[in-house]
Amino acid sequence: MKIDIRSLSEDKLCEFFENKGFESYRGKQVYEWIWKKSSHTFDNMTNISKEVRLMLHENFVINHIEVDKIQKSSDGTIKNAVKLFDDYTVESVLIPTEDRTTACVSSQVGCSLDCNFCATSKLKRMRNLNPDEIYDQVVTINKQSLQYFNRPLSNIVFMGMGEPLMNYNNLVKSIEMISSDKGLNISQKRIVVSTSGIPKMIKKLADENLKVNLALSLHSAIEVTRNKIMPFSSKFPLDDISESLEYWYTKTKRKITFEYIVWKNINDSIEDINALVNYCKSIPSKVNLIEYNSIGDSQFESASNNMINLYKSILEKNRITVTVRRSRGKDIDAACGQLANKQ
91 is catalytic: yes
CB of 337 to ligand SAH, least distance (A): 2
Radius of gyration, CA atoms only, the chain: 21
Nearer to ligand SAH by C-beta: 29 or 237? 237
CB of 93 to ligand SAH, least distance (A): 11
Which 209-228 positions form the footprint of ligand SAH (CB under 6 A)?
217
**Which region, judged by CB under 6 A, interacts with ligand SAH, from 15-23, 61-69, 125-133, 194-202?**
194-202
Catalytically annotated residue among 104, 111, 280, 336:
336
CB of 305 to ligand SAH, least distance (A): 16
List the one residue from 62, 186, 290, 303 that touches ligand SAH (CB under 6 A). 290
336 is catalytic: yes
User: What whole-number distance in Å separates Cα of residue 149 and Cα of residue 302?
Assistant: 32
Q: How many CB atoms lie within 10 A of CB 208?
A: 16
User: What whole-number distance in Å separates Cα of residue 84 and Cα of residue 128?
Assistant: 11
> Interface mask (CB under 6 A) for ligand SAH, residues 109-138, using x and -?
--------xx--------------------
Q: How many residues bind ligand SAH (CB under 6 A)?
A: 16
CB distance 35 to 92 below 8 Å? no
Question: Measuring CA to CA, which residue among 202, 278, 301 is closest to residue 245?
Answer: 202
The DSSP output letter for 314 is H
User: What whole-number distance in Å separates Cα of residue 46 and Cα of residue 44?
Assistant: 5
**Which region, judged by CB under 6 A, interacts with ligand SAH, from 129-137, 190-198, 249-257, 266-274?**
190-198
Q: How many CB atoms lie within 10 A of CB 53?
A: 17
Nearer to ligand SAH by C-beta: 6 or 125? 125
> Interface mask (CB under 6 A) for ligand SAH, residues 4-43, using x and -?
----------------------------------------
Catalytically annotated residue among 91, 133, 259, 291:
91
CB of 293 to ligand SAH, least distance (A): 4
User: What whole-number distance in Å separates Cα of residue 226 and Cα of residue 289?
Assistant: 16
Helix, coil or strand: residue 166:
helix
For ligand SAH, which residue has the nearest CB?
A: 337
CB distance 212 to 256 below 8 Å? no
CB of 264 to ligand SAH, least distance (A): 14
> Interface mask (CB under 6 A) for ligand SAH, residues 231-260, using x and -?
----------------------------x-
Kindly write down the DSSP assignment for every residue of 51-102, as one continuous string.
HHHHHHHHHEE----EEEEEEE-TTS-EEEEEE-TTS-EEEEEEEE-SS-EE
User: What whole-number distance in Å separates Cα of residue 219 and Cα of residue 282?
Assistant: 16
Whole-angstrom CA distances from 17 to 8, 26, 53 are 12, 7, 12
Is 293 an interacting residue with respect to ligand SAH (CB under 6 A)?
yes
Q: How many CB atoms lie within 10 A of CB 205?
A: 25
List the one residue from 130, 135, 337, 340 that touches ligand SAH (CB under 6 A). 337
CB of 172 to ligand SAH, least distance (A): 16
Helix, coil or strand: residue 148:
helix
Half-sphere exposure of 259 (CA within 13 A, CB side): 22
Nearer to ligand SAH by C-beta: 63 or 170? 170
Nearer to ligand SAH by C-beta: 81 or 289? 289
CB distance 211 to 253 below 8 Å? no
Nearer to ligand SAH by C-beta: 55 or 90? 90
- Give the residues lining the site for ligand SAH (CB under 6 A): 117-118, 159, 163, 194-196, 217, 259, 261, 290, 292-293, 295, 336-337
Q: Which of the residues are catalytic?
A: 91, 336
